[in-house]
Each structure stands twice: as structure tokens, then as C-alpha cells.
Amino acid sequence: MPYLIDGHNLIPKIPGLSLESINDEMDLVEMLQEFCHRRQKQVEVFFDNAPAGQPRARNFGKVIARFVPPPRTADQAIHNKLSHLGAAARNWIIVSSDHAVQSYARAARAQTMSSEAFAQLMRESLIDDPMENKIRTEPAISEAEIDEWMELFNHQADENEA
């Protein structure tokens, strides 16, 4: 199931991210990209207070970031998206700890998840797989070393046959 996310509601729930950061939105988008890659999910994330001149939507692969210009809010944009989805809203998970957002998500028959629960799901998904990032500790063998070993083994095989 794809996710609709209230971005500024989620950011403070993720360790290392802060609404005070100038790059908070893009930091979240990058984390969501990795989450989507690992979980094979799609996400639409909504952010309030889009600066003038910024595109209203940007596609980042499986993540679509929607920047909502004032006076509208991300909450209103999520509500509008759910209205446009109609019966298909039941196929989406709405991520927000805002009770109003959760309320109209349930009214649209969408599933809901708190920002805290989604942040935990992201943390679990983004934990590095120790086998994936294993650093090779043994040295690589050069072509010359392989040739020496092959010659040694071939010489020993010739001696054993004689």
C-alpha cells in the first residue's frame, strides 16, 4: 500500500531531523527514497509553507514531494487528495499524528498510522544489513600470485603422478 505523509508532522519524530534545519524536507525525502527502495513502496509526502517560485510537486522516483503554498496547508492538501481518490482511498495509509488528519483519513476509509509508528518502521527498514555493507578484510590476490599457485599445484600433481 502506498503512503500519504504529513511531512512536517513526521520530521520531528525522526532522530537527527529537525524542523529548524534548512534542509529538513530534502533530508526526509532522501530517507523516504531509501525506505521505498528497501520496502518496495510508494510515498507522497506533503509539506506546508512552500516558498514562492518552488514547484508544487517534485518527483523523486518512488517519492513524490508536494509543496503546499500558503494559505493552504499540507493537512488540507491531504484531505483534497483523499477526496479525489474516492473509494480508492482505502488502498492508502495516511501517516500523521494530527487528529484532524487521522479523522478525515478514517472517514475516507483510508488506513492511518501515527508519525511515531512510521518513524519506527523507517528506522527498522533503514538499519544497515551487516552482510550488505561487509568490508572485505582479506587482501585481493594478484594475477601473479594466482599463476604462482597454479604452477605450484600443477608441479605437485606432476610429481604425484610420477
Q: 34: part of which helix (H) or strand (E)?
A: helix 24-39
41: in domain: yes
Other C-beta atoms within 10 Å of 152: how many?
A: 10
39: in domain: yes
DSSP class of residue 142 equals P
Number of domains in the chain: 1
User: Which residue from 73, 21, 71, 27 is spatially nearest to 47, judged by alpha carbons?
Assistant: 73
The CATH number of the domain holding residue 19 is: 3.40.50
Which pLDDT tens digit goes with each residue over 137-160?
A: 445 667 777 788 788 777 665 666
Q: Which domain holds residue 21?
A: 3-131
Q: What is the pLDDT of residue 147?
A: 81
42: in domain: yes
52: in domain: yes
> β-strand 63-67 against 57-60: which pairing, if any?
antiparallel
147: in domain: no
17: in domain: yes
Question: 3-state class of 107 per DSSP?
Answer: helix
Which pLDDT tens digit goes with each residue over 45-79?
A: 999 988 778 889 999 999 999 999 999 999 999 99
Burial of 85 (0-12, 13-18, 19+ CB in 10 A): middle
154: in domain: no
- Specify the residue for cell string 478514517: 106
155: in domain: no
